[in-house]
Amino acid sequence: MARDGEGPLIIEPGRRGPGEPPPELAEALRTGEFHVALRMAIAHRGLSLARLRAHLALRGVHIGQSTLSYWQRGLRQPEVPKALPAVRALESVLQLPADSLVVLIGPRTARPRGHQAAASFHDLRSGEMGSIVEQLLTDLGVLPAAHHSNADLELLSVHDRITIDEQRHQVSFRTRLVTRARRHGPDRYVTVYNGDPGCRIDDVQLITAEGCRVGRIRRHPGSETMATELLFDRKLAEGDIHVFCFEVRDDSPVLFPGYYRMLRDQCASYLLQLQFSPAAMPARCTREVRARDDALPVEAEELACDTGGVTSGYFGDTGPGLAGIAVEWN
Protein backbone atom coordinates (compact mmCIF):
# COMPACT_ATOMS: atom_id res chain seq x y z
CA MET A 1 0.00 0.00 0.00
CA ALA A 2 1.38 3.44 -0.89
CA ARG A 3 2.21 5.61 2.11
CA ASP A 4 1.21 9.23 2.71
CA GLY A 5 -1.05 9.33 -0.33
CA GLU A 6 1.84 9.25 -2.83
CA GLY A 7 0.67 7.25 -5.82
CA PRO A 8 -2.34 4.95 -6.12
CA LEU A 9 -3.60 2.69 -3.37
CA ILE A 10 -2.29 -0.80 -4.20
CA ILE A 11 -4.26 -3.85 -3.09
CA GLU A 12 -2.54 -7.21 -3.08
CA PRO A 13 -4.06 -9.52 -5.73
CA GLY A 14 -6.44 -12.13 -4.41
CA ARG A 15 -7.03 -10.31 -1.11
CA ARG A 16 -9.80 -7.69 -1.48
CA GLY A 17 -11.41 -5.86 -4.32
CA PRO A 18 -10.93 -2.12 -4.88
CA GLY A 19 -12.77 -0.06 -2.28
CA GLU A 20 -13.41 -3.04 -0.05
CA PRO A 21 -12.18 -2.29 3.51
CA PRO A 22 -10.33 -4.93 5.51
CA PRO A 23 -12.44 -6.95 7.98
CA GLU A 24 -11.24 -4.99 11.03
CA LEU A 25 -12.17 -1.65 9.45
CA ALA A 26 -15.49 -3.02 8.16
CA GLU A 27 -16.32 -4.17 11.69
CA ALA A 28 -15.38 -0.77 13.16
CA LEU A 29 -17.63 0.97 10.62
CA ARG A 30 -20.46 -1.37 11.54
CA THR A 31 -20.28 -1.35 15.33
CA GLY A 32 -17.43 0.86 16.51
CA GLU A 33 -16.96 4.42 17.63
CA PHE A 34 -16.34 7.25 15.19
CA HIS A 35 -12.75 7.97 16.25
CA VAL A 36 -11.76 4.28 16.12
CA ALA A 37 -13.19 3.84 12.60
CA LEU A 38 -11.63 7.11 11.42
CA ARG A 39 -8.20 6.23 12.77
CA MET A 40 -8.30 2.78 11.15
CA ALA A 41 -9.48 4.23 7.84
CA ILE A 42 -6.68 6.80 7.79
CA ALA A 43 -4.12 4.08 8.55
CA HIS A 44 -5.57 1.85 5.83
CA ARG A 45 -5.22 4.63 3.24
CA GLY A 46 -1.70 5.43 4.41
CA LEU A 47 -2.35 9.17 4.67
CA SER A 48 -0.68 11.59 7.03
CA LEU A 49 -2.99 14.18 8.56
CA ALA A 50 -1.32 16.87 6.45
CA ARG A 51 -2.04 14.95 3.23
CA LEU A 52 -5.58 14.16 4.39
CA ARG A 53 -6.17 17.86 5.03
CA ALA A 54 -4.85 18.69 1.54
CA HIS A 55 -7.21 16.16 -0.07
CA LEU A 56 -10.15 17.66 1.84
CA ALA A 57 -9.17 21.16 0.70
CA LEU A 58 -9.32 19.98 -2.94
CA ARG A 59 -12.94 19.07 -2.24
CA GLY A 60 -13.67 22.51 -0.83
CA VAL A 61 -13.54 21.41 2.82
CA HIS A 62 -11.07 23.39 4.93
CA ILE A 63 -10.41 21.90 8.34
CA GLY A 64 -7.52 22.26 10.76
CA GLN A 65 -4.96 19.47 11.13
CA SER A 66 -5.37 19.69 14.91
CA THR A 67 -9.13 19.11 14.53
CA LEU A 68 -8.48 15.99 12.46
CA SER A 69 -6.07 14.84 15.17
CA TYR A 70 -8.67 15.40 17.88
CA TRP A 71 -11.28 13.50 15.88
CA GLN A 72 -9.14 10.43 15.29
CA ARG A 73 -7.96 10.36 18.92
CA GLY A 74 -11.46 10.68 20.37
CA LEU A 75 -10.78 14.03 22.02
CA ARG A 76 -13.45 15.74 19.92
CA GLN A 77 -16.37 14.61 17.81
CA PRO A 78 -17.77 16.34 14.71
CA GLU A 79 -20.68 18.61 15.57
CA VAL A 80 -23.96 17.75 13.89
CA PRO A 81 -25.15 19.12 11.50
CA LYS A 82 -22.32 21.64 10.96
CA ALA A 83 -19.62 19.04 10.32
CA LEU A 84 -21.62 16.70 8.05
CA PRO A 85 -20.04 18.02 4.81
CA ALA A 86 -16.57 17.46 6.28
CA VAL A 87 -17.41 13.92 7.39
CA ARG A 88 -18.83 13.05 3.97
CA ALA A 89 -15.69 14.45 2.37
CA LEU A 90 -13.65 12.21 4.67
CA GLU A 91 -15.63 9.22 3.43
CA SER A 92 -14.77 10.18 -0.14
CA VAL A 93 -11.05 10.73 0.49
CA LEU A 94 -10.74 7.55 2.56
CA GLN A 95 -12.72 5.53 -0.04
CA LEU A 96 -15.38 4.48 2.44
CA PRO A 97 -19.02 3.63 1.71
CA ALA A 98 -21.37 6.62 1.74
CA ASP A 99 -22.62 7.57 5.22
CA SER A 100 -20.44 4.91 6.90
CA LEU A 101 -18.82 7.56 9.13
CA VAL A 102 -21.89 9.79 9.32
CA VAL A 103 -23.90 7.11 11.12
CA LEU A 104 -21.21 6.92 13.83
CA ILE A 105 -21.64 10.54 14.93
CA GLY A 106 -24.58 12.30 16.52
CA PRO A 107 -25.58 10.90 19.90
CA ARG A 108 -22.20 9.22 20.36
CA THR A 109 -19.62 11.24 22.26
CA ALA A 110 -15.86 11.29 22.34
CA ARG A 111 -13.84 10.20 25.30
CA PRO A 112 -12.24 13.26 26.90
CA ARG A 113 -8.76 11.89 27.14
CA GLY A 114 -5.86 14.13 27.51
CA HIS A 115 -6.00 13.94 27.69
CA GLN A 116 -5.52 9.84 27.20
CA ALA A 117 -5.14 12.84 26.34
CA ALA A 118 -5.25 14.75 26.69
CA ALA A 119 -5.43 14.89 28.49
CA SER A 120 -4.16 12.86 31.59
CA PHE A 121 -6.23 11.75 34.53
CA HIS A 122 -5.27 11.74 38.17
CA ASP A 123 -6.89 9.50 40.79
CA LEU A 124 -8.79 6.28 40.21
CA ARG A 125 -10.74 5.88 37.00
CA SER A 126 -13.03 3.30 35.47
CA GLY A 127 -13.89 2.25 31.94
CA GLU A 128 -11.40 0.80 29.46
CA MET A 129 -8.45 1.64 31.74
CA GLY A 130 -10.03 0.09 34.83
CA SER A 131 -8.24 -3.26 34.74
CA ILE A 132 -4.85 -1.65 34.14
CA VAL A 133 -5.32 0.81 36.98
CA GLU A 134 -6.51 -1.97 39.28
CA GLN A 135 -3.41 -4.00 38.40
CA LEU A 136 -1.11 -1.09 39.23
CA LEU A 137 -2.91 -0.31 42.47
CA THR A 138 -2.91 -3.95 43.52
CA ASP A 139 0.86 -3.98 42.98
CA LEU A 140 1.02 -1.08 45.43
CA GLY A 141 -1.05 -2.97 47.99
CA VAL A 142 -4.19 -0.91 47.33
CA LEU A 143 -7.43 -2.73 46.56
CA PRO A 144 -9.60 -0.42 44.43
CA ALA A 145 -12.82 -2.20 45.29
CA ALA A 146 -12.12 -2.17 49.00
CA HIS A 147 -11.45 0.36 51.71
CA HIS A 148 -8.15 2.10 50.97
CA SER A 149 -6.09 5.12 51.95
CA ASN A 150 -7.62 7.63 49.50
CA ALA A 151 -11.10 6.87 50.78
CA ASP A 152 -9.99 8.05 54.22
CA LEU A 153 -9.19 11.51 52.86
CA GLU A 154 -11.79 14.12 51.99
CA LEU A 155 -10.74 16.46 49.20
CA LEU A 156 -11.38 20.04 50.31
CA SER A 157 -9.42 21.83 47.61
CA VAL A 158 -7.38 20.89 44.54
CA HIS A 159 -5.25 23.26 42.48
CA ASP A 160 -3.69 21.96 39.24
CA ARG A 161 -1.38 24.14 37.17
CA ILE A 162 -0.05 22.90 33.82
CA THR A 163 2.67 24.61 31.81
CA ILE A 164 2.68 24.24 28.01
CA ASP A 165 5.71 25.32 25.94
CA GLU A 166 5.94 27.02 22.54
CA GLN A 167 5.89 23.61 20.81
CA ARG A 168 2.44 23.08 22.41
CA HIS A 169 3.80 20.29 24.59
CA GLN A 170 3.14 19.87 28.29
CA VAL A 171 6.25 20.75 30.30
CA SER A 172 5.14 20.34 33.89
CA PHE A 173 2.07 19.55 35.95
CA ARG A 174 1.87 20.87 39.52
CA THR A 175 -0.81 19.79 41.99
CA ARG A 176 -1.63 21.07 45.47
CA LEU A 177 -4.26 19.24 47.54
CA VAL A 178 -5.94 20.20 50.78
CA THR A 179 -7.43 17.15 52.48
CA ARG A 180 -9.15 16.23 55.73
CA ALA A 181 -8.91 12.82 57.41
CA ARG A 182 -12.30 11.14 57.65
CA ARG A 183 -11.02 8.77 60.32
CA HIS A 184 -7.82 7.99 62.19
CA GLY A 185 -4.93 6.44 60.32
CA PRO A 186 -4.37 7.65 56.73
CA ASP A 187 -0.67 8.16 56.03
CA ARG A 188 -0.48 8.15 52.23
CA TYR A 189 -2.20 9.09 49.02
CA VAL A 190 -2.14 7.13 45.75
CA THR A 191 -2.28 9.07 42.49
CA VAL A 192 -2.57 7.73 38.94
CA TYR A 193 -1.17 9.64 35.96
CA ASN A 194 -2.27 8.82 32.41
CA GLY A 195 -0.17 10.33 29.63
CA ASP A 196 -1.49 11.15 26.19
CA PRO A 197 -0.94 8.69 23.31
CA GLY A 198 2.76 8.84 22.47
CA CYS A 199 3.79 9.56 26.04
CA ARG A 200 7.04 7.91 27.20
CA ILE A 201 5.73 6.84 30.61
CA ASP A 202 9.09 5.35 31.63
CA ASP A 203 10.61 8.83 31.40
CA VAL A 204 7.87 10.61 33.38
CA GLN A 205 9.06 11.88 36.76
CA LEU A 206 7.06 12.71 39.87
CA ILE A 207 8.72 15.16 42.26
CA THR A 208 7.32 16.01 45.68
CA ALA A 209 7.44 19.42 47.34
CA GLU A 210 5.73 19.84 50.71
CA GLY A 211 3.73 17.44 52.83
CA CYS A 212 4.68 14.15 51.16
CA ARG A 213 7.48 12.07 49.69
CA VAL A 214 7.55 9.52 46.88
CA GLY A 215 6.94 5.92 47.87
CA ARG A 216 6.50 3.03 45.46
CA ILE A 217 5.89 3.59 41.74
CA ARG A 218 4.35 1.24 39.20
CA ARG A 219 4.22 1.92 35.43
CA HIS A 220 2.31 0.37 32.54
CA PRO A 221 4.04 1.50 29.29
CA GLY A 222 1.37 0.05 27.01
CA SER A 223 -1.27 2.40 28.40
CA GLU A 224 0.98 5.36 29.30
CA THR A 225 -0.12 4.96 32.93
CA MET A 226 1.80 5.40 36.20
CA ALA A 227 0.58 4.85 39.77
CA THR A 228 2.54 6.53 42.57
CA GLU A 229 2.33 6.25 46.33
CA LEU A 230 2.78 9.59 48.16
CA LEU A 231 3.80 9.05 51.78
CA PHE A 232 3.03 11.48 54.61
CA ASP A 233 5.37 11.98 57.57
CA ARG A 234 2.74 10.81 60.08
CA LYS A 235 -0.58 9.10 60.47
CA LEU A 236 -3.40 11.62 60.46
CA ALA A 237 -5.95 11.76 63.25
CA GLU A 238 -9.64 12.07 62.42
CA GLY A 239 -10.39 15.63 61.32
CA ASP A 240 -6.76 16.56 60.65
CA ILE A 241 -6.15 18.90 57.71
CA HIS A 242 -3.21 17.91 55.54
CA VAL A 243 -1.77 19.92 52.63
CA PHE A 244 0.63 18.36 50.16
CA CYS A 245 1.83 19.06 46.64
CA PHE A 246 3.80 17.39 43.89
CA GLU A 247 4.88 17.92 40.29
CA VAL A 248 4.74 15.57 37.31
CA ARG A 249 7.33 16.20 34.61
CA ASP A 250 6.35 14.73 31.27
CA ASP A 251 8.36 16.11 28.34
CA SER A 252 6.89 13.71 25.77
CA PRO A 253 6.60 15.47 22.38
CA VAL A 254 2.80 15.25 22.31
CA LEU A 255 0.40 18.02 21.28
CA PHE A 256 -1.38 19.13 24.45
CA PRO A 257 -5.14 18.52 24.03
CA GLY A 258 -6.34 19.80 27.42
CA TYR A 259 -6.78 18.15 30.77
CA TYR A 260 -9.58 16.52 32.79
CA ARG A 261 -9.39 15.47 36.41
CA MET A 262 -11.53 12.55 37.53
CA LEU A 263 -13.14 13.22 40.91
CA ARG A 264 -14.46 10.13 42.67
CA ASP A 265 -16.26 12.22 45.29
CA GLN A 266 -17.53 15.75 45.56
CA CYS A 267 -14.79 18.37 45.80
CA ALA A 268 -15.62 21.74 47.37
CA SER A 269 -13.06 23.68 45.33
CA TYR A 270 -11.15 22.74 42.18
CA LEU A 271 -9.00 25.22 40.25
CA LEU A 272 -7.31 24.25 36.99
CA GLN A 273 -4.91 26.70 35.36
CA LEU A 274 -3.12 26.34 32.03
CA GLN A 275 0.00 28.44 31.38
CA PHE A 276 0.69 28.86 27.65
CA SER A 277 3.75 30.27 25.95
CA PRO A 278 3.06 33.72 24.42
CA ALA A 279 4.56 32.30 21.22
CA ALA A 280 1.93 29.55 20.99
CA MET A 281 -1.49 30.62 22.23
CA PRO A 282 -4.49 28.29 21.77
CA ALA A 283 -7.41 29.02 19.46
CA ARG A 284 -9.96 28.12 22.15
CA CYS A 285 -10.17 26.86 25.73
CA THR A 286 -13.43 25.40 27.04
CA ARG A 287 -14.24 24.64 30.67
CA GLU A 288 -16.23 21.40 30.84
CA VAL A 289 -17.91 19.17 33.40
CA ARG A 290 -18.93 15.63 32.49
CA ALA A 291 -20.70 12.96 34.53
CA ARG A 292 -18.76 10.24 32.70
CA ASP A 293 -15.99 10.15 30.13
CA ASP A 294 -18.44 8.96 27.44
CA ALA A 295 -21.14 11.55 28.22
CA LEU A 296 -21.88 14.99 26.80
CA PRO A 297 -20.74 17.93 28.96
CA VAL A 298 -23.30 19.03 31.54
CA GLU A 299 -21.45 22.35 31.72
CA ALA A 300 -19.44 24.05 28.95
CA GLU A 301 -18.04 27.57 29.05
CA GLU A 302 -15.47 29.22 26.79
CA LEU A 303 -12.56 30.69 28.73
CA ALA A 304 -10.30 33.65 28.02
CA CYS A 305 -6.51 33.76 28.36
CA ASP A 306 -5.00 36.70 30.21
CA THR A 307 -2.08 38.79 28.95
CA GLY A 308 0.34 36.38 30.61
CA GLY A 309 -1.04 33.41 28.70
CA VAL A 310 -2.93 31.89 31.64
CA THR A 311 -6.45 30.50 31.44
CA SER A 312 -8.27 29.43 34.62
CA GLY A 313 -11.20 27.11 35.10
CA TYR A 314 -12.81 27.08 38.55
CA PHE A 315 -15.19 24.35 39.70
CA GLY A 316 -17.06 24.75 42.99
CA ASP A 317 -18.78 21.80 44.68
CA THR A 318 -18.19 19.52 41.70
CA GLY A 319 -17.96 15.75 41.37
CA PRO A 320 -18.13 12.89 41.19
CA GLY A 321 -17.22 12.98 37.52
CA LEU A 322 -14.80 14.79 35.24
CA ALA A 323 -13.83 18.45 35.37
CA GLY A 324 -11.35 20.04 33.03
CA ILE A 325 -10.40 22.31 30.17
CA ALA A 326 -10.43 21.27 26.51
CA VAL A 327 -7.89 23.01 24.25
CA GLU A 328 -8.09 23.64 20.51
CA TRP A 329 -5.17 24.85 18.42
CA ASN A 330 -5.07 26.69 15.12
CB atoms within 10 A of CB 90: 26
> Is 153 in the same domain as 214?
yes
Q: Identify the CATH number of the domain in which residue 78 sits.
A: 1.10.260
Q: Are residues 78 and 185 in the same domain?
A: no
Instruction: Tell me: do 85 and 183 sit in the same domain.
Output: no
Residue 266 lies in a domain: yes
DSSP structural state of residue 169: B
Distances (CA, A) of 144 to 81, 266, 269: 41, 18, 24
115 assigned to some structural domain:
no
Tell me the CATH number at 306.
2.60.40
Same domain, 136 and 167: yes
Q: Is the pLDDT of residue 281 over 80?
A: yes
- Strands 267-275, 310-318: pairing kind: antiparallel
Where are the alpha helices (H) located in the chain, listed in sequence order? Answer: 23-31, 34-45, 49-58, 65-73, 84-93, 130-139
Q: Tell me the whole-structure pTM to 2 decimals.
A: 0.61
Cβ neighbour number for residue 94 with a 10 Å cutoff = 21
Tens digits of residue pLDDT in 167-183: 999 989 999 999 999 99
Same domain membership, residue 203 and residue 241: yes
Could you tell me the residue range of the domain that residue 227 belongs to? 127-328
State which amino acid sits at residue 301.
E
- Residue 4 in domain: no
Domain stops at, among 48, 70, 104: 104
Domain boundary among 47, 71, 104: 104
Same domain, 183 and 312: yes
Q: What band does 109 get if pLDDT is binned at 50, 70 and 90?
A: very low
Same domain, 77 and 182: no
pLDDT band at 310 (very low <50, low <70, confident <90, very high): very high
216-220, 252-256, 291-295: least confident range = 291-295
Q: Which of 107-116, 193-202, 318-327 tops mean pLDDT? A: 318-327
Residue 223 lies in a domain: yes
Domain count, the chain: 2
**How many CB atoms sit inside 10 A of residue 302's CB?**
10
Question: Is 167 a domain residue?
Answer: yes
Predicted confidence (pLDDT) at residue 139 exceeds the cutoff of 60: yes
- Is residue 253 packed enough to be buried (19+ CB in 10 Å), middle (13-18) or exposed (0-12)? exposed
Note whether 166 and 259 are same-domain residues: yes
Residue 116 lies in a domain: no
49 in a structural domain: yes
pLDDT bucket at 70, cuts 50 / 70 / 90: confident
Is 2 part of any domain? no
CA–CA distance, 81 with 268 (Å, rounded to integer)? 37
